[in-house]
Structure 1
Amino acid sequence: MKKPLIGASCSLLLAGAAGLTGITPAFAAQTPTATVAAVDFAGTVALSNCSGSLIRMPSSVATDPALILSNGHCLETGFPAAGQVLTNRSSNRSFSLLNSSGSKVATLRANKMVYGTMTDTDVSIYQLNTTYAAIKSSYGINPLTVAATHPVAGTAIKVVSGYWKRIYSCNADAFVYRLKEGAWTWKDSMRYTSSCNTIGGTSGSPVVDVATGQVVAVNNTGNEDGASCTDNNPCEVDQNGTVTVRQGINYAQQTYWIPGCFGTGNKLDLAKAGCALPKP
């Protein structure tokens, strides 16, 4: 995790991925198959400083207000403090929506930052001033579905960066009990195999399960210099407190616990039974 980019020539940040799902008056049910469309840039977005994606929950319908997923450390208001959870803040942030080839097709705009935190996870979710149906009708772009189940080690994944228009391919290597970086601690983080050598600006990228086309994590950090538990150098901590440093290895925060915190109309409901996101 690094400071958000101000321009392409500034210090780099992390993130990435994309998947497809059809839009009908109620989204068509998705049954994972071995013939899911190839992962590309369709539905990913570029922020001013990070990457992100246009997402839907498994229960979302086409007439719901659309949502954007990125990192908590990509918020335009700066990094949330450890222990801080932000909800339902006014925002007019803009996002560049990409098509399958990575070309910009539209500028989308938020009317609300629904949820943002760097505690236990590193996530931000924005609500747009338009619906999935309107985006599909105007630009032919479908949202990516956030999977509601925990991914498994060995899963083939792609990290899709809208900021850099670059796709990284690797596997989910393992899941880390605690990942510590500076003041922040994240739970059950996904560690990549080494071929996902993500760079600054990929922060917030969707991590897509190649077999299902669904988002299973959001890219957020990596150990750059081999230091232990410092900014830009996260360390792994197991249940016994043993610390491991893996220089050059990158990580993402799982997203399966997000759908359980959203109800009808894509409304955030942190009191919903089974919601595991940190509360304010």
Structure 2
Amino acid sequence: MSKPLVAVLAALAIAGVGAAPAVAAPAAKAETRTETKAAAAETKAAAPTLKAVSLAGTVALSNCSGSVIRFPNSLDTDPALVLSNGHCLTSGFLDPGEVVTNQTSSRTFTLLNSSGTGVATLRASKLAYATMTDTDISIYQLTSTYATIKSSYGITPLTVQNTHPTAGTAITVASGYWKKLYNCNIDGFVYRLKEGDWTWKDSVRYTSACQTIGGTSGSPVIDQSTGNVVAVNNTGNEDGETCTVDNPCEVDESGNVTVRQGINYAEETYIIPACFTTGNQLNLSASTCTLPKP
């Protein structure tokens, strides 16, 4: 897992921390030039318009990163939510099969603006949901509403997309802990990602450009074309080991194991909105909710 901070600080202490334009043929036909221009226009139209992703709406935890999130049907008057990893709980890692729901919490989070400056301390009222089974998420309910956060600090929440992400999508992993943005693409999806005693389903694999480190755990993975959250950053293979802690391995449907040293991963979030109902309240009994249950 992208380690919550202690191991990272130790590592940092040790380490110290185009082609030339084509020349048109003189005798090119007018219709050829027209076709080329039309093809270029079509390609430009098909390419998504990328947004300038910032740190606004991310949060720093004591040991990890996170973000203030909302769902497509959330209201401004609803209590705000913070998304992070299940392995970022102050109580430590959850056991395989363990699910925590609606547990009282007063955990605090530093809210960041677009430049990464802390503008407020937000406080939880409860840990609404957490697990490290099938996925690796924690969702805290805050004492503040979205409207209060917006009016007081000018920060709007990030929306969690409720559809499956797409391979090739340009993404940004936004770390509130390190106040840093990592830009890359979704390389593909992993049938099962196994790390130590834990197994996660349908995980996101990044291209190699996203070299996330400990402390980035819980960072929102943001689709650059929509600005929506499509996953939550959680782990990477550091040493090339096979299926050990901090060295997850990929397992395909036939049981074949692949190790990709230096590659990092995230857990999809599109299944979360179906498990929350009016007032941003957890409802694991909803017919379309597939999150693990206690």
TM-score (structure 1 length as normaliser): 0.90
Partner AA of 1:274 in structure 2: T
Partner AA of 1:138 in structure 2: S
Which residue does 2:263 correspond to in 1?
249
Q: Deviations over 1:86-115 (max 9, x none)?
A: 101111000000000000000000010000
Report the Cα offset of residue 35 of structure 1: 5.0
Which residue does 1:46 correspond to in 2?
60
Distance 1:83 1:77 in 2: 16
Alignment of 1:1-280 (within 5 A): 1-6=1-6, 9-10=9-10, 34=48, 37-280=51-294
Partner AA of 1:5 in structure 2: L
Report the Cα offset of residue 47 of structure 1: 0.3
Distance 1:257 1:243 in 2: 26
Structure 1: segments with no counterpart, 5+ residues = 13-32
Number of equivalent positions: 260
Report the Cα offset of residue 231 of structure 1: 0.3
Higher relative contact order (CA 8 A, sep 6+): 1
Distance 1:96 1:11 in 2: 24
Report the Cα offset of residue 4 of structure 1: 2.2
> Hey, which bits of structure 1, 4+ residues long, moved more than 4 A?
33-37
Which residue does 1:22 correspond to in 2?
none
Residues 8, 190 of structure 1: alpha-carbon distance in 2 compared, 3 angstrom cutoff: closer
1:158 match: secondary structure: strand
Partner AA of 2:241 in structure 1: A
Q: Deviations over 1:148-179 (max 9, x none)?
A: 00011000000000000110000000000000
Residues 246, 8 of structure 1: alpha-carbon distance in 2 compared, 3 angstrom cutoff: closer
> Is the Cα contact below 8 Å between 1:179 and 1:237 reproduced in 2?
yes
Report the Cα offset of residue 38 of structure 1: 1.2
Distance 1:256 1:71 in 2: 15
TM-score (structure 2 length as normaliser): 0.86
> Is the Cα contact below 8 Å between 2:2 and 2:213 reproduced in 1?
no
Partner AA of 1:152 in structure 2: T
Distance 1:4 1:154 in 2: 28
Structure 2: segments with no counterpart, 5+ residues = 13-46
Q: Deviations over 1:44-63 (max 9, x none)?
A: 00000000000001100000
Which residue does 2:17 correspond to in 1?
none
1:9 match: secondary structure: helix
Distance 1:167 1:3 in 2: 17
> Is the Cα contact below 8 Å between 2:51 and 2:225 reproduced in 1?
no
Question: Normalized per residue, which structure has more helix?
Answer: 2
Distance 2:278 2:144 in 1: 16
Distance 2:186 2:173 in 1: 11
Residues 8, 225 of structure 1: alpha-carbon distance in 2 compared, 3 angstrom cutoff: closer
2:156 match: secondary structure: coil
Percent identical among aligned pairs is: 70
